Structure 1
Amino acid sequence: MKREMFSIQKALAESQNLLSELQKPVRFQSFEF
């Protein structure tokens, strides 16, 4: 049970990191779509 909660928290933290990385304007401008 605890291990499941930990993996969920880890996944949440990773998605938060991805969101914050995407929201950095400098990073955004380096990509050209």
Structure 2
Amino acid sequence: MRASMPRGSSSGVRKLPAIHKHGKDDKRREI
């Protein structure tokens, strides 16, 4: 996830984009 969105703020970028880009994977991994 972090390597997918190397923008700068990994902590904040991996939270929003993670749901937008990997919404399906994010839900499965979160649970």
| Larger Rg belongs to | 1
Q: Indicate the TM-score class for this superposition, using the shorter chain for normalisation.
A: under 0.3
* TM-score for the superposition, normalised by structure 1: 0.27
Bigger RCO (CA 8 Å, 6+ sep): 2
* TM-score for the superposition, normalised by structure 2: 0.27
Decide which structure has greater helix share: 1
